[in-house]
Structure formats: structure tokens, C-alpha cells
Amino acid sequence: MSVTHDALRAANEMREQLAGSERRLGFFCGAGTSMAVGLPGIGDLTKQVAERLTGKEKEQFGLVADDLHSGSNVEEILDRVRLYRELIGTDPLREYCKIKGSEEARLLDAAICRAISDGVREISKDEKKPHLIFAQWLRALHSRRDWPVEIFTTNYDVCFEQAMEASGVPFFDGFVGSVNPFFAPECIEAEGSRADMYVYPCRSWTRLWKLHGSINWHIRSAEHATEQITRLSTVDSKPGEELAVFPGRNKYSESRKLPFLAMQDRLRKFLAGGDRLLVIAGYSFSDQHLNEVILQALRSNPQLAVTALIFGEDGGEQDKTPRILPKSMENLGSEHRNLTIFGPDKASIGGVVGGWSVPARESDSREWPFWNSTQKMFVLGDFTAFARFLEVFIGFKPLTPAAQNPVTK
């Protein structure tokens, strides 16, 4: 006996969960949310970085990539470059992959980061519409929540920041100040108690935690410290400056490591803190370190609910839909009952994996942003469709009454 899940019922239940004001709400946004507006994924970004580098730096980048496994991406290459920086130290003669001395290693690191920045710079207003809709939804429904909405993202770009500023959504990202905003870890750790009021930003402000850094985080010398990470209003760095993207090596200098560790700790604290809902969008569960943070929280916190909206992979000619839920995601859903997974062709709800049943329409004029009736596919794994789903929610447009129990056959 196989089980099918009703797409309309799933969409309505998700709508009700997002409407609640008492439960702490967070979003975990991966590369798919940026790819939805035309920015490159990790594979394309790696190719773009290789194309933007020139001369000796291009040759060094290729040699480091060859020194790794086949198909290594730019984050893995950058991590290896930083390992070589550690090994080289101050020795001007030590060499790895034709990277000789600390200065060449530093310049290659900076060049890769600059090429990453060029690859994910600002896009047009029309292209970033899903982020604008998401920001408008935050402003419309969550300005008076008991607790702020927290957004965790692995993306380097500033699409969320631009969208929230354009929509008038106050947010806090861990930095304070106006000339050269500096990182303030005590504000990240604070929870709003009376003892924390001195360092706790406004309760209603959305929180934005960039787990892998940002193209507007810059590593620069400080007056009273060797170096610090600052957030600038421009994404243009000065000659010789490096961008703070990707956590890098474990032994990478403490000042550079601090923001990444603090924000990952914030993710752990959020997931472990009781009644929580985390919505995952645009993330393919390819980062094993972050996967373990999420899965460990699912195992240890019975009040945590995680809903993963999965775009899916190419189904091939033998499948009924263009995209399918990867088998690895089916297994995760079966193993964790508090992990709900909505894929294009099937879902895992309460640990039960089953295909979607086609929802019955009450009216052909109804707008269903969660369902592609032509391809018979659940589409909220596409961030553009998810944003449209929220836009319908903003307008309080009814989807139709919730369907009955899942169908078995």
C-alpha cells in the first residue's frame, strides 16, 4: 500500500505555520535562492572565477584545483589556498602549486575573493523581485511578532539586504556603527532578557546571519588591532584588501574566524532553543558541516520542526515529472519525523515518504502558486514560486478549504 500526500493540504498547513506569531521562526536560505534571480551556483561561480583570474594567479588557481579532487569548487580551492598560506607562513622560499612566499599566497587569496565578488554583484531590480516579495512579507506580517524572524544564509550576495532596505524592513546582521561598522558578537548572543537589553537590538528587527560571509565584509587594519572585519556600504575593496567570504581554515586568524563561528553558534542556539520552525529554501544539503548542525538539532530538540523546500534534480525520461526528490533526501525524511520535506514529485511528512496526489480544484480561477498543474509538480522548492506563495499570503487570498486526509491506494 502506497501513501500519497495532498498538495493543497500541505500548502494550507504551511500557510498556517507561517502565520503563527508565538513560535520562533527562522529561514535557512542556500544558493538556490540566489540562482532563482540569475546569480551563479557554486559550479558556475567556480568557472567564472577561473575565467576572471589572469596571469600567474590563473595558473596557480588551476594547479590548486588539480591538487584537489576532480570537480572541486571555488570554496574548496579557496580553503586549500588558505592552508598553503598557513604552511608557507613567513618563509619567502616555501612553495606549493607555484605559490611562493606569503605575499603571493595573500595576493591569490585576495584575487579569488575579488573574482567571487564580481560574480555575485548587484543585479537589476526586476531580477531580484522574489527577494523583494519576501521582504514585503516580512514587513507586512512580522513587524509585531513576539520574537524576530531569523534568516540564516550561506550566500555571499547582498540580495536580502537590498530587498529589506528597499521595503523598509529593519534588520540586524551582527555589525554596529555607521562609518566602518564593526562586528559585535555580544549582540548576536543576546536573547532580549533584561540583562541583555544593553546589547540587544530592537526585538522586532529581522535578523540576518550570513554563515559564509558577504561581498561587503572587508578585512582591514584597525587602529587598535592587527586587523578586523568591517561591513561597508560598498562592495568595492581597496587595493590589497581581502573580502571575508567562506570560513576557511580552522587555524585561520582569530579575528577572521570570529564572525563565522559566532553565526554558526547562533544557528545552533536557535535550533536548540525549544519550539522552533525552520524553513529551508534553496539548499541542497551539500554542506556536511551544516547538515550535521541541523540533523543534530532534529535529534535532540523534539520541539523543533524543519520544513525543507527542495527544488529537486533532473528526473530523466523515465520519471513522470521533470524534477524529482533525490533519494538521499527521502532517506533523511524517513529517519527524522520532525523533518518535513516537500519535493517536486513527492514529500516526506512525519517520516512517511509518498508522492503527491493531484489536488481537486473548486474553481479554475484560483491561483495556486505551489502547484504546476501541467507538470503535476509541487513547485515551492523554486524560490520564485515560494515568494509568489508569500505574496498571495500578503493579500490574504484564500487557497480553498484544506483537503481531507492523505489518500492511500
> Using CA atoms, how far apart are residues 34 and 121, in angstroms rounded to an integer?
11
**What are the Cα distances from residue 71, in Å, to 197, 291, 376?**
48, 21, 34
pLDDT profile of the chain (409 residues), mean per 10:
86 89 92 93 92 95 93 90 89 92 90 87 69 91 77 94 92 87 82 60 86 84 65 60 62 60 92 94 92 96 97 78 91 95 96 89 67 91 94 61 41
Q: Are both 167 and 94 inside the same structural domain?
A: no
DSSP 115-137: HHHHHT----TTTTHHHHHHHHH
Q: Are both 134 and 46 inside the same structural domain?
A: no
pLDDT recorded at residue 176:
87
Task: Please choose, from the candidates 253, 260, 221, the residue with its C-alpha nearest in 3D space to the C-alpha of residue 237.
Answer: 221
Q: Are both 98 and 164 inside the same structural domain?
A: no
Q: Kindly state whether residue 405 falls inside one of the protein's structural domains.
A: no
Q: Are both 381 and 353 inside the same structural domain?
A: yes
Q: Kindly state whether residue 115 falls inside one of the protein's structural domains.
A: yes
Q: Kindly state whether residue 203 falls inside one of the protein's structural domains.
A: yes
Element (H, E) at 31: helix 31-35
* Total domains present in the chain: 2
Using DSSP bridges, classify how beta strands 339-342 and 304-309 pair: parallel, antiparallel or unpaired: parallel
Q: Are both 201 and 283 inside the same structural domain?
A: yes
pLDDT recorded at residue 374:
87
Q: What single letter denotes the amino acid at residue 243? A: L
pLDDT recorded at residue 215:
86
Which grid coordinates belong to 349? 511528512
Q: Kindly state whether residue 367 falls inside one of the protein's structural domains.
A: yes
Task: Please choose, from the candidates 125, 203, 145, 131, the residue with its C-alpha nearest in 3D space to the C-alpha of residue 171.
Answer: 203
pTM, two decimal places:
0.87
Q: Are both 318 and 331 inside the same structural domain?
A: yes
Q: Are both 334 and 297 inside the same structural domain?
A: yes
104 Cβ partners below 8 Å, 6+ apart? 56, 60
- CATH number of the domain encompassing residue 24: 3.40.50.1220
pLDDT recorded at residue 405:
39
Task: Please choose, from the candidates 251, 328, 259, 250, the residue with its C-alpha nearest in 3D space to the C-alpha of residue 289.
Answer: 250
Q: Are both 297 and 364 inside the same structural domain?
A: yes
Q: Which of 97, 119, 141 is the last residue of a domain?
A: 119
Q: Are both 34 and 142 inside the same structural domain?
A: yes
Three-state SS at 2: coil
82 Cβ partners below 8 Å, 6+ apart? 109, 248, 249, 252
Q: Are both 44 and 93 inside the same structural domain?
A: yes
Q: Are both 31 and 47 inside the same structural domain?
A: no
Q: Kindly state whether residue 403 falls inside one of the protein's structural domains.
A: no
Q: Kindly state whether residue 22 falls inside one of the protein's structural domains.
A: yes
Q: Kindly state whether residue 73 falls inside one of the protein's structural domains.
A: yes
What's the domain range around 72? Answer: 40-119
> Using CA atoms, how far apart are residues 374 and 361, in angstroms rounded to an integer?
14
Q: Which of 86, 119, 152 is the last residue of a domain?
A: 119
Q: Kindly state whether residue 298 falls inside one of the protein's structural domains.
A: yes
Q: Which of 71, 93, 119 is the last residue of a domain?
A: 119
> Using CA atoms, how far apart are residues 395 and 312, in angstroms rounded to an integer?
29
Q: Are both 91 and 188 inside the same structural domain?
A: no
Per-position b or e across 41-69, b if 16+ CB within 10 A of its CB: ebeebbebbbebbeeebbebbeebbeeee
